[in-house]
Amino acid sequence: MKETASPERVRSSRLSIPALDGLRGIAATLVVLTHVGFVTGSYSLGGLGATLARFDIGVALFFALSGFLLTRPWVAAADGGHTPRVRTYAVRRAARILPAYWVVLLVVVLTTARGATPTAVASNATLTQVYTNDLLDGFTQTWSLCTEVAFYVLLPFIAPFVARAATHSMRRALALLGVASALALVWIALVAAQILPFDHVAALWLPGHLDWFAVGLAIAVLEPTLRDSSSRLTSRWGGVLSTPWALVALALAVFALACTPIAGPLTLTPPQPLPAVTKEVLYAIVAFLVVLAGAMAPPTTSFARALGGRVGRALGRVSYGMFLWHLLVIELLRRVLGLELFSGGLLLLAVLGLGVTFVVAEVSWRVIELPMLRRAGAHPR
């Protein structure tokens, strides 16, 4: 039987969650540091190197955050709220992603990728480079943006379906997301085993990371029930959710496991099927725990105050710019400093890379991103 949503449940799924700004900033910082570790050859530095290599988990956090935040309006609609307009959604996503992206692409083509062919530039301009294997020097991180944009395209079809299923049966909705996650793991295994007619870059496509998005969708469909103090789920798990540091501690333990050889090689060496699937699952668990902690942490907790404070929100504001600019900044700094590729300079490049990237990203936010969002009618914080 379909449940009737209370006004409190509908309003709860529209609440602003400042702590998630801080999580976006952390995810962006992890991505910057993992690439600094790679270009300086620091992945071989024992435990530190393994940790740096696995900081690519920032991508899983980004995907889970997108799955959660972008699905919430459809969950609210299924609970009796206003149905999102797909055209408005598409315009705002395009305004958020494309203008800054095209500016950075132009700079990359004029600097680190001056020898790029017109075909490669065209595929990057249309965010199809991960399918044509035309990733440009100083811009290779954009594989994940291609995958995220593919998710944006599918979301208006997926989110209403899952949200409506959740109004009838939460277990049914979670089962659907579980099936999507299982398909992602099968895809990862098949690509790693070289059974599919694609090379290893196919592991980066949306089918291979549906599970990371799915954990975000799962949190979105669970959120109204978890915020309902009268629900059985809240009575059972409310104590855990009120202590977000416990969830983070568990996430760190899982992350430590991902830093071991069971999650495959630390370098770009293609993994075998079992390690590839293991890494995917461990990253999904970490992303679920961390995003759940950020989404459900009471505002009065130290966790929420830290992530939603001035520093956390500042990092979250420029997180997209940091993601776009950091590889170009790192490469140009490396050349200016005379650092050979894979030959050290970790601390120097990390400090300068983060600092310069933040400044450039702040300029990008103020000059490009914020004006475009305002023109699209969005309400950026």
Q: What is the mean pLDDT of residues 67-77?
A: 96
Answer yes or no: is pLDDT of 275 > 90: yes
Q: Which of 6-10, 39-43, 181-185 has the lowest mean pLDDT?
A: 6-10
Q: What is the mean pLDDT of residues 260-267?
A: 96
pLDDT at residue 13 in the model: 56
CB atoms within 10 A of CB 156: 17
| Residue 2's pLDDT band (cuts 50, 70, 90) | very low
Contact of 230 with 204, CB cutoff 8 Å = no
Q: Is 190 helix (H, G, I), strand (E, B) or coil?
A: helix
Q: What is the mean pLDDT of residues 5-15?
A: 56
Ranges of H-type helices in the chain = 7-12, 19-39, 46-53, 57-78, 86-110, 118-125, 129-132, 143-168, 170-192, 210-226, 232-241, 244-258, 273-296, 302-307, 310-317, 319-337, 346-364, 370-375
Q: What is the mean pLDDT of residues 87-110?
A: 97
Answer yes or no: is pLDDT of 10 > 60: no
Q: What is the mean pLDDT of residues 90-98?
A: 97
DSSP state of 83: P
Q: What is the mean pLDDT of residues 145-153?
A: 98
Answer yes or no: is pLDDT of 349 > 50: yes
Answer yes or no: is pLDDT of 303 > 50: yes
Mean pLDDT of the chain: 93
pLDDT at residue 80 in the model: 84
